[in-house]
Copies of this chain bind each other. A is one copy, B any other.
């Protein structure tokens, strides 16, 4: 059974489903693992005060806030967790990094390669993490270990399919995920980013890629399906599909 670690004060910016998922993660990790740090749920920041109050009550956030610019400057905060729509990742993460905070940022990191490069530059010298949580799924972590121990032979083919069914469901209310201005891309950033990270994690760098974006839903301005072919540096080839 785990021992309590040193406290680590968290400020989360975002009160949606990822705000909830991260709250759960902070609460549950010390229940099951011996972690060097114990998260302290210091402040949750968003724009909907009633929702913030509910989040604070259910998950035990000590304070609420509505101005992320003030939050990222607070001396009593160790970690800034960026769990907002994609287009806001860069300004918040860069400000937090410049304030010397540890930065946890949701995926996709940025809405363009240029923006991502600026974030990486700003993060120079601070600890950072992108929430590619699949790396900690036991089956994937175990596969990684088998690969590192050389217990899996030469890879020939890599296949990744991330299939969800709601992308084209007209009965779902539109949200920021299908709004190009807020999301930058659709399934490409939302789902394929996980598949790509897992591929890099397990099968190493990609040397060549060919991809196809597709939008099924009429009038939607982001992709709701993406296919890709890749040649990996280790000599294997792969297919990717997310929808």
Contact = CB atoms under 8 A, between A and B. Distances in A.
Interface of A: 1-4, 20, 24, 27, 30-31, 51, 54-55, 57-59, 156-157, 159, 168, 208, 210-212, 214, 216, 225, 227-229, 231, 235, 237-239, 241, 243
Nearest to A55: B1
B241 A156 contact: no
B214 A212 contact: no
Nearest to A238: B227
Q: Is the interface of A mostly helix, strand, loop or mixed?
A: mixed
7 contacts: A2-B58, A3-B54, A30-B58, A156-B225, A210-B210, A211-B229, A225-B237
Given A1-B51, A227-B237, 7 more contacts: A1-B54, A156-B168, A157-B225, A212-B229, A212-B231, A227-B238, A229-B229
Contacts of A57: 4
A5 to B, nearest CB: 12
A62 to B, nearest CB: 16
B237 A1 contact: no
A122 to B, nearest CB: 33
Contacts of A27: 27, 31
